[in-house]
Amino acid sequence: MEPVKLALLGASGSIGESTLAVVRANPGKFKVEAVTGNTNLSALQKIVEEFSPRHVCVADSNGVAALRRVLPSDVHVHGGDDSIVMAASLPEVEIVVGAVVGFAGLRSTLAAIDSGKRLALANKESLVAGGELVMSRLRKSRARMLSIDSEHASIHQCLVGYKSGVGIRKIAITASGGPFLHTDVSLLDHVTPAEAVRHPRWQMGAKISVDSATMMNKGLEVIEAHYLFGLPLQDIEVLVHPQSIVHGLVEFNDRSVIAALYEANMQSPIAFVLEDFYRELRCPGCHDGFGEREQRERNFATTNSSLDLIKKGRLEFMPVDAGKFPALDLCRKSLQRGGSAAAVLNAANEEAVSMFLGGEIRFTEIVQIVEAVTSSHQIVPLETYEQIVAVDRWAREAARKI
């Protein structure tokens, strides 16, 4: 069987690393055709040495000449934001893994959808800022999109496992609670960027780590889940679960619940989504073949360790403390307000997080800024990519001014 050709956008980040680990653990299944990165050239070089993609793209055009010097001459090196879009729409590519960080990922998300790819999406900001547009383009194209956010991939896994996929009462996504779950609220004013990115369960990039510390990440994921699963806000629950073993739960109309459990590790959700796409592309007859004899061999491997529930001991669940973590309610409100509200929230948050990481503002000011920007914003409908970009720019300037 021909390997499935893959474009990996954001290859040098932590999702890129986990995706490549899955590719490595399943030899012969995938061919990495294109990789993209931002500024980490040495990471890209190492990836090229191991996986020999035909195309390498760097968002920062300054890196092109340096990469050409060190890479084999048959590797095509491209630069600039347009090259990321090009990688997402290469005709030979069958699966795009979208792991660009932040709003910058929206263009390539749209490009992958418009060119009919199977899109494994890690860039939740695409859906937060451009949810309506992304979903309407998806309906018009033959593309398929699955999230490789662990919670959402878990929900998808539960739905596929249940086969019928109908009669869903509600879903729940879990949150570890981040590094400040047990920190007194009065101390949050003084936490440093280093403390905020030190996540107890997940090794992730700086932006998403800060989002986890404010719990903005969970709010963004609620918006993401709303678009992915077409559920109203009241049917999407958030549970704080410090052990990060249960990732997503689905309750059906008969009040039974299916949940996905695994050791906190991104390889499991990525492998599940890639396998789903792989079956569809190379084994259409077995796409829904759960319970078949060859199931064990067909399941994709990961290097994640087996879950030992006895060793784990207690699994705890609790509600989100909305007074201490107001970001979640802000996200719910912005989705209720509709139109440009979530795009503004996303942009203000990206800007505030970068100001916090740069030492310009306090930790608690991140959410205060997002709240001030969203409440001063006059909502407009968002129908085009250009409108989203304009609103995004406005919100970033407004956040900087505060």
Q: Min. distance of Cβ 163 from Mg ion in angstroms?
A: 25
Q: Min. distance of Cβ 224 from Mg ion in angstroms?
A: 9
**Piece of the chain touching Mg ion by CB under 5 A; list 79-87, 108-116, 148-156, 382-390:** 148-156
The residue among 150 and 374 lying less far from Mg ion, judged by its C-beta, is 150
The residue among 239 and 380 lying less far from Mg ion, judged by its C-beta, is 239
Q: Min. distance of Cβ 87 from Mg ion in angstroms?
A: 24
Residue 49 contacts by C-beta under 8 Å, 6 or more apart in sequence? none
d(CA 28, CA 32): 11
The residue among 34 and 246 lying less far from Mg ion, judged by its C-beta, is 246
Query: Rule CB under 5 A: is residue 149 a binding residue for Mg ion?
Result: yes
Q: Min. distance of Cβ 225 from Mg ion in angstroms?
A: 10
Residue nearest to Mg ion (CB): 149
CA quadruple 19, 5, 41, 355: dihedral sign: negative
Q: Min. distance of Cβ 202 from Mg ion in angstroms?
A: 8
Query: Which two three-digit tokens encode residue 81?
Result: 């934001």
Query: Which two three-digit tokens encode residue 126?
Result: 């695409």
**Piece of the chain touching Mg ion by CB under 5 A; list 145-153, 251-259, 266-274, 299-307:** 145-153
**Piece of the chain touching Mg ion by CB under 5 A; list 149-157, 180-188, 304-312, 324-332:** 149-157
Residue 145 contacts by C-beta under 8 Å, 6 or more apart in sequence? 113, 118, 119, 121, 134, 138, 228
Q: Min. distance of Cβ 150 from Mg ion in angstroms?
A: 5
**Piece of the chain touching Mg ion by CB under 5 A; list 84-92, 146-154, 181-189, 393-401:** 146-154
Task: Decide: 274 and 120 in contact? Cβ < 8 Å.
Answer: yes
Q: Min. distance of Cβ 269 from Mg ion in angstroms?
A: 9
316-325 core/surface letters (b: 16 or more CB in 10 A; e: else): eeeebeeeeb
d(CA 119, CA 152): 14
Query: Rule CB under 5 A: is residue 371 a binding residue for Mg ion?
Result: no
Residue 334 contacts by C-beta under 8 Å, 6 or more apart in sequence? 223, 341, 342, 344, 345, 374
The residue among 67 and 175 lying less far from Mg ion, judged by its C-beta, is 175
d(CA 56, CA 64): 9
**Piece of the chain touching Mg ion by CB under 5 A; list 79-87, 101-109, 144-152, 307-315:** 144-152
The residue among 30 and 180 lying less far from Mg ion, judged by its C-beta, is 180
Q: Min. distance of Cβ 149 from Mg ion in angstroms?
A: 4
Q: Which of residues 264-293 bind Mg ion (CB under 5 A)?
A: none
The residue among 33 and 151 lying less far from Mg ion, judged by its C-beta, is 151
Q: Is 30 exposed, middle or buried (0-12, 13-18, 19+ CB in 10 A)?
A: buried
> From start to end of 278-400, where are the E strands?
none
Q: Which of residues 150-209 bind Mg ion (CB under 5 A)?
A: 150-151
The residue among 224 and 351 lying less far from Mg ion, judged by its C-beta, is 224
Q: What is the Cα 160 distance to its own chain's centre? A: 20
> What value does the CA radius of gyration of the chain take, rounded to a whole number of Å?
21
Q: Min. distance of Cβ 123 from Mg ion in angstroms?
A: 12
- What is the DSSP-derived secondary structure letter of residue 91? T
**Piece of the chain touching Mg ion by CB under 5 A; list 13-21, 142-150, 324-332, 351-359:** 142-150
Number of residues that bind Mg ion (CB under 5 A): 3
Query: Rule CB under 5 A: is residue 211 a binding residue for Mg ion?
Result: no
Query: Residue 59: which of 81, 86, 42, 34 has the closest Cα?
Result: 81
Where does this chain bind Mg ion (CB under 5 A)? 149-151
